[in-house]
């Protein structure tokens, strides 16, 4: 994901995803999927959801915000570009 200061952000955990949602998310794209992704990340951190479930919801939020994703399952990382 390209942050407001034009940096690429790599997300490898629910904690990273929650940080991206909190710190680097485009303000105009705080819709329903954004809220669901925040909740899913918190739930994964607390053990109420799996990291893979949180990842899927996070990807949906990125798509809603029109953030370009490059992700690999083998490396368990997701690179987000806007």
Domain residue ranges in the chain: 9-81
The model scores a pTM over 0.85: no
Confidence at residue 79, expressed as pLDDT on a 0 to 100 scale:
47
Phi first, then psi: give them for residue 5, nearest 5 degrees. -95, 20
Residues 5-34 have pLDDT tens digits of 566 788 889 999 999 999 888 777 778 999
Confidence at residue 66, expressed as pLDDT on a 0 to 100 scale:
80
Average pLDDT over residues 53-62: 92
Is residue 20 within 8 Å of 9, Cβ to Cβ?
yes
Structural element, H or E, at residue 58: helix 51-64
Instruction: Give the whole-angstrom CA distance, residue 15 versus residue 73.
Output: 17
Mean pLDDT of the chain: 81
Give the residue, 78 or 49, on which the prediction is more confident.
Answer: 49
């Amino acid at each position: 994901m390209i942050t407001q200061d034009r940096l690429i952000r790599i997300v490898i955990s629910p904690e990273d995803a929650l940080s991206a949602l909190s710190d680097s998310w485009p303000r105009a794209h705080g819709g329903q999927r954004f809220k669901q992704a925040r909740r899913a990340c918190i739930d994964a951190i607390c053990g109420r959801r799996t990291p893979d479930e949180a990842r899927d919801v996070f990807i949906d939020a990125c798509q809603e915000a029109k953030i370009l994703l490059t992700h690999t399952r083998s490396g368990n990382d997701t690179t987000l570009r806007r």
